[in-house]
Structure 1
Amino acid sequence: MKNNDRIVLTNKIIPSSIEDEVRIALSHYPELIDTPIEFKFKKNIKKSFMQAQPKFSSLFRKRKNRSYFVYISERLHIEHEEFGVEDIPKDVLIGWIGHELGHIMDYRDRKGFNMLVFGVKYIFSKRYIREAERAADTYAVNHGMGEYILATKDFILNHAHLSEVYKGRIKRLYLSPEEIVELVEELE
């Protein structure tokens, strides 16, 4: 992706190519209005398409003064399949962004040292990865993004060219479509 155009809002930096999708996802998280977030394309993110994390320089600031990155892989490589942002349907991209914003909601409640422990556990514990990913999905659904999260799951789980190994990882670590529907129904 060669487009380096960026939209700079008061405290958000967004690549222009995904501005609409980011704005829609952010509209579901009014609590993040004052939170600095930079959405940034990266060459490659291992095993993922997007990744949210606090900026290291802000990690030990007061939680309300932290800033974050949402990294977006320029190309997602899953076995023999490759996707770019432009290949992903709009509602799926909104769901993916909403999931990452769910991580930021989770991070906002953690102190600096707790964030470091979180990072270590996330790297070394599959059980902890599962808890963190399911928490991010839950935040997104609880913020009215159920239809987008379902679209993202459907895109991944029903994509014919993706391997069963990758789909199995998604099924193991994230909320299932049935669990998402249950959460949505509980909210109604």
Structure 2
Amino acid sequence: MTLSAQHTIPKEIENEALVALSHYPELKDTPIEFKFKPNIKKSTMQAQPEFTSVFNSKKNRRYKILISEQIKIADSTYYTKNIPAEIMIGWLGHELGHIMDYQNRNGLNLIGFGIQYLASKRYIKEAERRADAFAVRHGMEKYILATKEFILEKAGLSEKYIDRIKKFYLSPEEIMKLVEERDTISEA
């Protein structure tokens, strides 16, 4: 895989980001900065358009994926960069799904998206499920399922965080249904 001049990726997650990006060839020329942050409220990662580029044409918009430097699991704190590769790829693939969603929107629609995301739990659920669906349509189900299994069963995350994942994101069963539908369409 080659690194596009359009993508800024920290060395710690370069391989994982390149694998995730390889599933989204349409993002090859889209400026995306992957960036670690000390802490992100209620989340491990967050994809968003660069505010200064929101009203640029869709092909000239820039995005960033913010990655929390650490997550709290039970009574321990883990550095995100040390999460197993398959899980990191799944998480990044989900965030790239958000960017795919954003690319279908004009500037005003993106502003409205942000406001609705902050104000409506129903809208959060729709947006997160759309991002998962984009990832599955781009052949990332193995990684998305690994990430879900990690979050729901293996990580020892708080019950509150797990409940949030179950409430807002596709379940493993729903992901497999999307895979079936995708494969049926591609066989036709």
Shorter-chain TM band:
over 0.9
Q: Which runs of 5+ in 1 are unaligned?
A: 1-7
Distance 1:87 1:38 in 2: 20
> Deviations along 1:115-146, whole A, 9 cap, x unmatched?
11100110111000000000000000000000
AA in 2 matched with 1:165 = K
| Deviation (angstroms), 1:28 | 0.2
Verify: 1:35 aligned to 2:30, yes or no. Answer: yes
1:22 equivalent in structure 2:
17
AA in 2 matched with 1:23 = L
2:60 equivalent in structure 1:
65
Q: Which runs of 5+ in 2 are unaligned?
A: 184-188
Verify: 1:177 aligned to 2:172, yes or no. Answer: yes
Q: CA RMSD in A?
A: 1.5
TM norm structure 1: 0.92
> Deviations along 1:75-130, whole A, 9 cap, x unmatched?
12356442212431110000000000000000001110111110011011100000
Range with bigger deviation, 173-182 or 8-17:
8-17
Aligned residues: 182
TM norm structure 2: 0.92
Alpha-carbon distance change, 133 to 164 in structure 1, aligned in 2, over 3 angstroms = same
* Contact 1:22/1:94 (<8 A) preserved: yes
2:107 equivalent in structure 1:
112
Alpha-carbon distance change, 160 to 66 in structure 1, aligned in 2, over 3 angstroms = closer
AA in 1 matched with 2:136 = V
Distance 1:86 1:61 in 2: 32
Verify: 1:131 aligned to 2:139, yes or no. Answer: no
2:154 equivalent in structure 1:
159
Q: 2:136 aligned to 117, 141, 145, which one? A: 141
What is the DSSP-based 3-state SS (H/G/I as helix, E as strand, rest coil) of the residue aligned with 2:33? Answer: strand
Q: Give 4+ residue runs of structure 1 displaced > 3 Å after superposition.
A: 78-81
Query: Matched residues, percent identical?
Result: 60
* Contact 1:130/1:172 (<8 A) preserved: yes
AA in 1 matched with 2:35 = K
Verify: 1:102 aligned to 2:97, yes or no. Answer: yes
